[in-house]
């Protein structure tokens, strides 16, 4: 079933895109919990991440690894954490949450606010690294 992520994939609504290939797209979460909080989304409309066919699930994590590398190189991260939640948007996706302090826990609570200009700059920085 089409969700807001399908509309983003089809280019019907905008996003702060950081990377895309034939089967996946990555864009900034609109309600970030950290600078560079990114969603990695397989283009196939499947709700539950563990309903993805094995090969697609593996591709999702491979793509997530590339994007996480780009996030880590773009900003002064300690590492990038991974969360799969899926309660809000019923289209499988992986949250990549950069960690900026040793020992910091990864959570989807405590949203931050960035201006449109800042979001654009963050996305461009990650996209530039992802394209290398």
> What's the alpha-carbon Rg for the chain, to the nearest Å?
14
Interface with ligand AMP, residue 86, by CB under 6 A: yes
Shortest distance in whole angstroms from residue 78 CB to ligand AMP: 21
Q: Which span sits near ligand AMP by CB under 6 A: 43-51, 62-70, 81-89, 97-105?
A: 81-89
Shortest distance in whole angstroms from residue 29 CB to ligand AMP: 5
Cβ-Cβ contacts under 8 Å for 131 (sequence gap 6 or more): 19
Q: 18-37: which residues touch ligand AMP (CB under 6 A)?
A: 27, 29-31
Interface with ligand AMP, residue 69, by CB under 6 A: no
User: What whole-number distance in Å separates Cα of residue 63 and Cα of residue 55?
Assistant: 12
Q: Is 95 known to be catalytic?
A: no
Q: Could you say which of 46, 82, 89, 99 contacts ligand AMP (CB under 6 A)?
A: 89
Cβ-Cβ contacts under 8 Å for 90 (sequence gap 6 or more): 1, 3, 47
Interface with ligand AMP, residue 112, by CB under 6 A: no
Residues in touch with ligand AMP (CB under 6 A): 4, 15, 27, 29-31, 39, 85-89
Catalytic residues: 93
């Amino acid at each position: 079933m089409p969700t807001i992520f399908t509309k983003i994939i089809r280019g019907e609504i905008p996003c702060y895109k950081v990377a895309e290939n034939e089967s996946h797209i990555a864009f900034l979460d609109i309600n970030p919990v950290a600078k560079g909080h990114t969603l990695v989304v397989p283009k196939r409309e499947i709700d539950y991440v563990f309903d993805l066919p094995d090969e697609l699930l593996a591709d999702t994590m491979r793509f997530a690894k590339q994007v996480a590398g780009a996030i880590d190189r773009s900003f002064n991260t300690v590492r990038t954490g991974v969360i799969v939640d899926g309660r809000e948007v019923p289209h499988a996706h992986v949250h990549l949450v950069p960690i900026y302090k040793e020992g910091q826990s990864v959570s989807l609570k405590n949203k931050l606010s960035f201006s449109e200009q800042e979001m654009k700059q963050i996305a461009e920085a990650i996209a530039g690294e992802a394209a290398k």
